[in-house]
Amino acid sequence: MGCSTSPAGWAIAALVTIGLGCASSRIPQTIDETPAGRIDPLPAGTDRVVSSDGSFSIGIVGRAGKGPGSALGHEKAEFGLVLPDEDIGLVAYRYSGAQTSIDDVVHHRRTLVRSAGLLHFVSEERFFLSTGRYRAASLCAWEGDGRRASRYAYSLIADTPGGAVEILAWTRDARGRDALRAAVLRFRLEVE
C-alpha cells in the first residue's frame, strides 16, 4: 500500500475529504495512539487542518456534519486523522444534542450514504461499550458497490451523556477491513 490521494468525492456521505501526508501505517488502537500523539479539536467549519508535525492533515468540505437533508443540525467534527501511506481515514463527530439517540444518528448516516449512492449498507450490530454503564454503541458496516468496490467503511456510534459520538473510518484495502473493524471497536470512549 502506498500513498494515495484522498478519495475526494467519495467521502462517506459527501462529508469529508482527506488530504494525505506520509507517516505511520499502523492503525491506531486508541485516541492516544494517534500518530501525533494528541488530538486537536477541529472547529466546525474549518476547511483544512494540518498537524503541527505534518503527520496528517484533514480537510473538511463545508460545514462539518451539515449533510443534505440532515435532521441533525448540531453535529461537529472534533478530530480526524489520515494515515499517510495507507488509504485509511478516520474522523469523529460529536452530536451535541443530548437527546440525539443512536437511532437518530444511524438513520441520518444511512440517509446520507444512500443519497451519495457510493456505498451500500451491509450490516449493523449493537452492543454495550466496555466502558461506562450500559452505554450502547452501534457498529455499521458499509461497502462500495459494483464499480467502486474495495471501499470499506465502519461507523461506530456511541451513546454518551452529552449526546452521540460517531467514529467513522474507512479503507480501500480489503485486507485491512477486518483490522479496521477491530480498531474501531477497540476505541475506548470515556463516556462516563
Residues that bind other proteins (CB under 8 A): 101-103, 106-107, 110, 114, 121, 123-128, 133-136, 138, 159
- Among candidates 33, 186, 173, 149, which has minimal Cα distance to 89? 173
For the bound state, the minimum distance from the C-beta of residue 56 to other proteins, rounded and expressed in Å, comes to: 31
For the bound state, the minimum distance from the C-beta of residue 141 to other proteins, rounded and expressed in Å, comes to: 11
Q: Which is nearer to other proteins, 63 or 181 (CB)?
A: 181
CA dist., res. 91 & res. 60, Å (int): 10
CA dist., res. 17 & res. 77, Å (int): 13
Q: Which is nearer to other proteins, 114 or 181 (CB)?
A: 114
For the bound state, the minimum distance from the C-beta of residue 136 to other proteins, rounded and expressed in Å, comes to: 5
Q: Which is nearer to other proteins, 52 or 123 (CB)?
A: 123
For the bound state, the minimum distance from the C-beta of residue 178 to other proteins, rounded and expressed in Å, comes to: 17
Q: Please state the φ and ψ torsions of residue 146, each to the nearest 5 degrees.
A: 30, -110
Q: Which is nearer to other proteins, 53 or 192 (CB)?
A: 192
Q: List, in sequence order, every residue forming a beta bridge with 93; answer none if it has no partner.
A: 77, 166
CA distances (Å), origin 103, targets 49, 94, 157: 30, 15, 9
Q: How many C-alpha atoms does 30 have within 13 Å on its Cβ side?
A: 4
For the bound state, the minimum distance from the C-beta of residue 145 to other proteins, rounded and expressed in Å, comes to: 12
Q: Which is nearer to other proteins, 179 or 191 (CB)?
A: 191
Q: What is the residue type of 111? A: T
Q: What is the residue type of 90? A: L
Q: Which three cell numbers stand for residue 177?
A: 477491513
Q: Which is nearer to other proteins, 78 or 159 (CB)?
A: 159
For the bound state, the minimum distance from the C-beta of residue 191 to other proteins, rounded and expressed in Å, comes to: 12
